[in-house]
Structure 1
Amino acid sequence: MRPILSPLLLALSSLPFSRSALCVLSWNISYVPPGGLRDISFPINLSRAPHVAGYHFAQRVKFYGQTSVAYAGLQPRQDTSSGATVLRGVFTSFINGTTTTDPNCSEGVDDGPGVSCAHDFSGSHADTWDLIMTNTAGTTWAGKAVNYKNGTAFHIGTWTLPEGTGGIQGSQVGFMDYFPWNTNFSMTCADLPPTECTFSPPTTGSSWNGYSVGSISGSVERCENNVDHGPSLNGGWRFAIF
């Protein structure tokens, strides 16, 4: 039997990308200028995530002047036939009026407005990946995944928000989910594959103080008896299913 959803998860569940969220994160960055942040980086480590599609690890943002959100995330994929590890970077806006000319992106998200971008790349699960959103010009934003260890970068996508949209607000939520639950309603908590991930605090170079490190905390919204979680050594938050 599936657990009853908490009010926080019910709120998240109204959004197509997080309706199956197992775990939720709250992040915050101080000293945000009135116009909002012009860049933000979300470090994620998937050291023990399975090398198949299923889990989704993401952080979302909200822009000044908009009610809908956007997010950047990582999804493990099946290894190649030669054994190379594959990760999928995703960069999505649910904001009506978002446009794109990027070949990695397409308009429309889950039969609703917005733009969805995705790019598969070869990358180690053992390394930490920075999901970086950057304002490139006007209301245009680019998303990329950067290997924290060696600096290797992979472009995920670019989209342009409606005119008048401001920068990124200083707090929002992220999530870890298992998207096969979206279609297989017979699945229970015992069916969750083992996984482990660590979300580190977000950083920005565009706060009032220039470079700034935020804070992060997490909670388990479903399958509390199956998920181990708590603070990590780097000020982040770790989730594990064994």
Structure 2
Amino acid sequence: MKTASISISLASLILSGKALVGSEWSVTNVPSTGLKDITFPLTIVEADHISGYYFAQQYAFINSGIGYTGLQPRPDANGKPVLHGVFSSFIDGSTTTDKNCAPGADGGPGVSCSVEWNGVYGRRYDFEVKSNGSSVWTGTAIDTVTGARIHIGSYTVPASAGGHPEFSSRIR
């Protein structure tokens, strides 16, 4: 079995409408079939409890297209903080039957999945992106304190998309 290793380098400040800050990730020693799972740690230490920010991890499939998973602050509800977990495919031909998901991604092809929960700012959530061994991918947020697994959604990509060979993070 090959071992995949990740090297991280900080990228310069990205001043575009798509990202405020970015850091680049690369994965080496990836099997020719791609990776079948990866976990991204995310912590929002401090942010306004409003919509508009997106702390995201971007990944690319071997043959085509990208996906995102991440966390968005939301306005408090009933005096409690709300977090919005997101899991999206931007690959044409992606489908879903998951109740947390809908066709389309940012006005284009793909699938967008999301769920909200009463979260805790300053707590690390691990965002797991995992394949069932074929073309179905599931996004899960894991509360690292309680161990709770929060299902964000699942989608099927065309078999031609392959696994994930590279990753990069984006904060928008």
TM-score by structure 2 length? 0.87
Which residue identity is paired with 1:93?
S
Equivalent positions of 1:138-157 (< 5 A) are 138-157=134-153
In the other structure, the counterpart of 1:109 is: 105
Equivalent positions of 1:219-238 (< 5 A) are none
Aligned length: 161
Instruction: Mark the runs of 5 or more structure 1 residues left unpaired by the alignment.
Output: 1-6, 14-18, 178-242
Out of 39, 42, 56, the position equivalent to 1:41 is: 39
CA distance in 2, matches of 1:129, 1:24: 19
Superposed displacement of residue 55, structure 1: 1.1
Out of 154, 158, 165, the position equivalent to 1:162 is: 158
In the other structure, the counterpart of 2:80 is: 84
Which residue identity is paired with 2:48?
P
CA distance in 2, matches of 1:155, 1:45: 18
In the other structure, the counterpart of 2:6 is: none
1:172 equivalenced with 2:170 (yes/no): no
CA distance in 2, matches of 1:153, 1:122: 13
Superposed displacement of residue 28, structure 1: 2.5
Query: Which has more strand, going by share of residues?
Result: 2
Q: Spell out, residue by residue over 1:44-74, the C-alpha distance to the aligned partner (whole angstroms, 9 max, x if none).
A: 11011222212110011011111x2101010
Alpha carbons 2:27, 2:167 under 8 Å: kept: no
CA distance in 2, matches of 1:74, 1:111: 19
- State the secondary structure of the residue aligned to 2:146: coil
Equivalent positions of 1:2-13 (< 5 A) are 9=14
CA distance in 2, matches of 1:128, 1:48: 12
Give the root-mean-square deviation of aligned CA atoms. Answer: 1.8
Q: Spell out, residue by residue over 1:89-138, the C-alpha distance to the aligned partner (whole angstroms, 9 max, x if none).
A: 00011100000000110001232111011100111112101111000141
Q: Spell out, residue by residue over 1:142-192, the C-alpha distance to the aligned partner (whole angstroms, 9 max, x if none).
A: 0011012221110001000002321111x3322111xxxxxxxxxxxxxxx
Which residue identity is paired with 1:53?
S
> Per the alignment, do residues 161 and 8 of structure 1 end up closer, same or farther by CA in structure 2, a change over 3 Å counting?
farther
Superposed displacement of residue 8, structure 1: 9.1
Out of 66, 69, 73, the position equivalent to 1:69 is: 66
In the other structure, the counterpart of 1:195 is: none
> Per the alignment, do residues 161 and 26 of structure 1 end up closer, same or farther by CA in structure 2, a change over 3 Å counting?
same
- State the secondary structure of the residue aligned to 1:76: strand
Instruction: Mark the runs of 5 or more structure 2 residues left unpaired by the alignment.
Output: 1-11
Higher gyration radius (CA):
1
Which residue identity is paired with 1:157?
G
